Structures are given as structure tokens and as C-alpha cells.
């Protein structure tokens, strides 16, 4: 099976590493299929190399506790608090600067905060025409509308424009989403870009030094010309920051008009041959390794154990000579 060429992440800032260790301690069992970088690339770019300590739920900020429960990101949790929709032990909160313990009663819109879940991550091949938002004011169909019957309550790690295709990472852990979105995490986003116009290889090479467009500075950008097809050209572009419409603005700055944009990798996770509209969970062990910790994946209950027992009872297949 052929996999696309990806990239390895650089070592992140210490703050991102600390969050990674915390999330790694919560990773549980997951799916089976994930396209990854070669082993040497993953080893070189592993987010955290030291052995992490177990994190404790007691005494953490309430917005973080809400995010860890999988309801929303920490930023959205802070917004809910500001709107007066969160109660702590029967009292409406007005500030997120509050620590909570497992024994505290946290409610959002009158509903109790669910127990924190194991951190899980999915790869999704987003087709063009879907909005990456839980609610669209214009009534357009969203990614979450398309996946409502297949997944639990999830949030996206970053966004893709309505006409952008390709890899979108989804998680049930708001804190994990926030971590992987941070520029400090250093995970490279790779795109295949079809654009109208004739790219100048020299201009593409200069992007490695970064550039400023309309007062907004963009960091180093990897851009290469793949091939030309008539009036269009295919480019490979890699960015680290993921600012709003960054790839399209960069191309416009070079006199190119993007008419197709496909994200093929986000850090070590790749689109691979995941079919359009397809969803695949990242194995828990893989996720834990990328967050800096190897864990023993717990079994998922009686049915899982029965399945395992049945597999052990099956006779071994004879190997053909």
C-alpha cells in the first residue's frame, strides 16, 4: 500500500509538552488503521521524550475540566462561563479562574458535566461542500451533520474551508484539540494545491524565509512545483501555523488562484488512501506515542474480552510453503 510523503513535527515548546504528557495519561483504546510516517521520522519528531507523570484531575481549572469531558474546547468553555451558562455547586460562574475537584457539581445549561472520557482521535477525509462548524448561520451542511450517526460528540482540530478537501482530525477531547492547534506544537500541515497560473520556482523558494501579507506575518513555508497542466499547476505546500486561509493568501500573493486544495497530512497523521467521506480512528498506542508516552491499552469490557478469547481459541492457520 502506497502512502504519501509526510513530515515530522519539530520539538514543541515546554508548555505544549506538558499538555501532551497530561493527555497521554488519559489515552485509552482506539481504532486500528492509521497512516503514519516512517519510524525514524516519528522518533525524531516525537513531542515528548521523557517519561511523563500521571496527571491528577483534582484542582484543575474549570474550563479545562469541561474540555476534558469532551463537551467543547477550553476556549468555548470560557465563553460558556462568560455567558452565565455554567454553574458550580449551584452557583452561576462569572469567571473561569476557578479550580474544581471531582466532588464538585458542574452543570452546563442545567445538565451535569459528564465523566471525563479517554482521549480519542479520528482521521476524516472531508469532502468539499461541508462547513467545519457545529452550527452554520447560513444553514449549510456541516462536517458534524455528516458524522452525527458515526461518532460520539467530537470537535475538530483546526478547520478546513468549505471548499477545502482532505484530512481533518476530530477528537472527543477539547484539551487535545487545543494542544494540537497551537503553533508551539510545531506540527506541519501539508497540502496538495491546484492553482491557475504559472508559478515562479524562484518565488516559491523564497517562501522558506517567510513573508508578510497585508500586515500579517507568515512563518517559513515549504513550497515546490509538482507539475503543470495547461493553465494550472500542482504545488506541494507545507505550513506550520495554520492561519486563516493561509495557503490561499500565499498563492494569491504569488499571482496564483487556487481552484482545488487538499490537505494530505497534519503532523504525523496522513490522509493516505482514506476514501472521501471516510472516517478512521487512530489507535490509542499510536496516539500515546505521539504525545510522548507508551501506555498499556485497556480492554473495553466483557464483549471485548469475549472476542479476544474467541480469537485465542481459533486454530492457527498453517503457513504455506
Burial 268-293 (b: 16+ CB within 10 A, else e): bbbbbebeeeebbbbbbbbbbbbbbb
The catalytic position among 104, 136, 145, 161 is: 161
- Burial degree of 168 (CB within 10 A; 0-12, 13-18, 19+): buried
pLDDT tens profile 122-135: 999 999 999 998 88
DSSP 106-160: EEETTEEPPPP--B-EEEEEEPTT-BSSS--TT---BHHHHHTTTSSS-EESS--
CB 131 within 8 A of CB 108: no
Report the distance separating Cα 151 and Cα 279, nearest Å. 9
Asked if 183 and 197 count as a contact pair (C-beta separation under 8 A), the reply is no
Residues sharing a CB contact under 8 Å with residue 186, sequence separation 6 or more, in sequence order: 9, 10, 11, 12, 16, 240
The pTM for the full model equals: 0.67
> 46-72, pLDDT tens digit by residue?
443 333 343 444 578 899 888 777 678
The confidence score (pLDDT) of residue 180 equals: 87
* Domains annotated on the chain, with CATH: 188-266 (3.30.70.1560)
**Strands 257-266 and 106-108, how do they pair?**
unpaired
Report the relative pairing of strands 257-266 and 165-171 from DSSP bridges.
Answer: parallel
16-20, 166-170, 286-290: range with lowest mean pLDDT: 16-20
- Is 161 tagged catalytic? yes
The predicted model gives 153-177 an average pLDDT of 91
Amino acid at each position: 500500500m502506497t502512502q504519501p510523503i509526510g513530515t515530522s513535527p519539530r520539538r514543541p515548546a515546554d508548555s505544549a509538552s506538558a499538555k501532551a504528557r497530561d493527555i497521554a495519561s488519559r489515552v485509552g483504546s482506539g481504532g486500528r488503521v492509521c497512516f503514519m510516517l516512517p519510524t525514524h521520522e516519528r522518533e525524531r519528531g516525537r513531542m515528548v521524550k521523557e517519561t511523563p507523570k500521571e496527571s491528577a484531575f483534582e484542582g484543575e481549572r474549570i474550563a479545562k475540566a469541561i474540555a476534558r469531558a469532551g463537551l467543547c474546547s477550553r476556549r468555548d468553555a470560557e465563553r460558556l462561563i462568560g455567558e452565565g451558562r455554567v454553574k458550580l455547586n449551584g452557583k452561576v460562574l462569572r469567571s473561569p479562574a476557578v479550580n474544581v475537584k471531582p466532588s464538585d457539581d458542574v452543570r452546563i445549561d442545567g445538565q451535569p458535566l459528564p465523566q471525563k472520557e479517554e482521549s480519542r482521535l479520528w482521521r476524516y477525509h472531508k469532502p468539499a461542500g461541508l462547513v467545519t462548524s457545529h452550527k452554520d448561520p447560513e444553514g449549510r451542511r456541516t462536517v458534524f451533520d455528516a458524522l452525527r450517526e458515526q461518532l460520539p460528540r467530537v470537535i475538530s482540530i483546526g478547520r478546513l474551508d468549505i471548499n477545502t478537501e482532505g484530512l481533518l482530525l476530530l477528537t472527543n477531547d477539547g484539551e487535545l484539540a487545543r494542544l494540537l492547534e497551537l503553533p508551539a506544537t510545531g506540527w506541519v500541515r501539508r497540502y496538495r494545491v491546484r492553482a491557475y497560473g504559472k508559478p515562479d520556482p524562484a518565488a516559491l523558494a523564497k517562501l522558506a524565509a517567510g513573508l508578510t501579507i497585508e500586515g500579517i506575518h507568515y512563518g517559513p513555508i515549504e513550497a515546490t512545483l509538482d507539475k503543470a497542466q495547461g493553465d494550472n499547476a500542482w504545488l506541494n505546500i507545507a505550513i506550520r501555523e495554520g492561519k486563516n486561509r493561509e495557503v490561499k493568501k500565499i498563492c494569491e500573493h504569488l499571482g496564483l488562484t487556487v481552484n482545488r486544495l487538499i490537505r494530505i497530512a497534519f503532523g504525523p497523521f496522513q490522509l493516505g488512501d482514506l476514501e472521501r467521506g471516510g472516517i478512521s480512528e487512530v489507535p490509542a498506542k499510536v496516539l500515546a506515542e505521539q504525545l510522548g508516552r507508551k501506555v498499556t491499552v485497556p480492554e473495553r469490557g466483557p464483549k471485548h474480552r469475549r472476542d479476544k478469547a474467541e480469537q485465542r481459541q481459533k486454530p492457527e492457520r498453517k503457513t504455506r510453503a
